[in-house]
Amino acid sequence: MASFAERWQSAELTAMSADPDSTEKEHGIRSISRMSGLDVMGAIRASDLVISGGGSLIQDVTSTRSLIYYLSVMWLAKALGKKMMVYAQGVGPITCKFSRKLAARVIKSADAITVRDSDSKDYLVRMGIDPSSVFVTADPSFVIEPAEPQQVDDILVASGVETGMPLICVAVRRWKNELVWLPSLVKGLDAAASSIGAGVVFLPMQMDQDLGVSIQIASEMSSPAWVVKSRLSPKQAVALVGRMSLVLGMRLHSLMFASAVGVPFVAISYDPKV
């Protein structure tokens, strides 16, 4: 949003959000509930351009319902005669044959298509999208400016983190077969932390999904471990990651944040995008 606002300063931006009040407060733009059909239709009807992205919205591994939802928004934009752009998306996997056909039909109608990696472009091409219409760009997270250092100090203090040691940031999420991989993760984290005298800071990237498993793993560790329980803005999360000595992430954007601020990272590959 910051990039668009900088390029087109006179543009009026409206964001669909799960938490419109927080979005308006953080970004200073109008926001509507993405679950309000009337508000979404009204915003699209009043727009000149509808942008779908970024993130991994065009996939059905997380949820078929979410894929259909985002495709419906894109379809509605074109049905109402609006320009529509697929912006910096990560695409796939789409496991359902019907969903792939639906996605291909909707995406073909876009006025512009950009994806955040070459694998996503290849995936679209295999779905029948003209390769000349798909452009590979960077994930929007790379242009996020970190929050001020004092904000990070306050977050660390509020989370009880002891800062007189190296810190390893861990961004995990719930995933299948946890009884198999969770004990190994705890053991590995303890070994890594003790070998360098580090503490472990768990950073839930999606609070409602990641907080519980973060608390669970932290409670099972013998090394010092803390969980950031406050909901951070992207700027705060980037700045916090910048204070770490190492990042271990299942969440893709924890790894992108680390890359952006020059912190070494290790990915836990549970999904092709990671």
Block residue for tokens 């250092």: 149
Q: Are residues 39 and 167 in the same domain?
A: no
Domain count, the chain: 2
Encode burial over 237-274: b for 16+ CB neighbours within 10 A, e otherwise.
bbbbbbbbebbbbbbbbbbbbbbbbebebebbebbebe
Q: Using one digit for the tens of pLDDT, what is the confidence trace for 41-73?
A: 999 999 999 999 878 889 998 889 999 999 999
State the CATH number of the domain containing residue 81: 3.40.50
Q: Does residue 272 sit within a domain?
A: no
State the average pLDDT for the chain: 92
Q: Which stretches does DSSP call E strand in the chain?
A: 14-17, 30-33, 49-58, 83-91, 112-115, 134-136, 167-171, 199-202, 225-227, 246-249, 265-267
Same domain for 46 and 174?
A: no
Q: Domain check: are 170 and 99 in the same one?
A: no
- State percent of the chain over pLDDT 90: 78
- Structural domain contains residue 273: no
Residue 24 inside a domain? The answer is: yes
* CA–CA gap between residue 267 and residue 250 (Å, rounded): 6
20 and 129 part of one domain:
yes
Identify whether the C-beta of residue 178 lies closer than 8 Å to the C-beta of residue 196. Answer: no
Residues 185 and 78 in one domain: no
Q: Exposed, middle or buried, 69 (CB in 10 Å: 0-12/13-18/19+)? A: middle
Beta bridge partners of 126: none
211 and 115 in one domain?
Answer: no
Whether residue 26 is contained in a domain is answered as: yes
Nearest to 217 by CA among 168, 158, 165: 168
99: DSSP letter? H
Are residue 115 and residue 174 in the same domain, yes or no? no
For residue 274, pLDDT over 70 is answered with: no
What Cα–Cα distance (Å) separates residue 18 from each residue in 23, 35, 166, 205?
A: 9, 7, 35, 15
pLDDT of amino acid 2: 66
**The overall pTM is greater than 0.85:** no
19 shares a domain with 110: yes
Spacing of C-alpha 196 from chain mean position: 30
Which of these three, 117, 140, 163, is where a domain ends? Answer: 140
Tens of pLDDT along 77-123? 999 999 999 999 999 999 999 999 999 999 999 999 999 999 999 99
**Single residue among 88, 107, 140 that ends a domain in this structure:** 140
Predicted confidence band of residue 273 (pLDDT cuts 50, 70, 90): low
Which CA distances in Å does 66 have to 13, 14, 186, 240? 23, 20, 31, 30
Whether residues 57 and 125 fall in one domain: yes
Q: For residue 215, what are the domain limits?
A: 149-267
pLDDT score at 211: 96
Q: What is the pLDDT of residue 271?
A: 67
Q: In the predicted model, is pLDDT for residue 215 greater than 80?
A: yes
pLDDT digits (tens, 9 = 90+) for 141-196: 888 889 999 999 999 999 999 999 999 999 999 988 888 899 999 999 999 999 99
Same domain, 27 and 96: yes
What CATH number is attached to the domain comprising 187? 3.40.50.2000
- Mean pLDDT of all residues in 2-30: 83
Question: Per-residue confidence at 223, pLDDT binned at 50, 70, 90?
Answer: very high
Q: Provide the 8-state DSSP code for 143.
A: G
Q: Are residues 126 and 222 in the same domain?
A: no
Q: In the predicted model, is pLDDT for residue 28 greater than 60?
A: yes
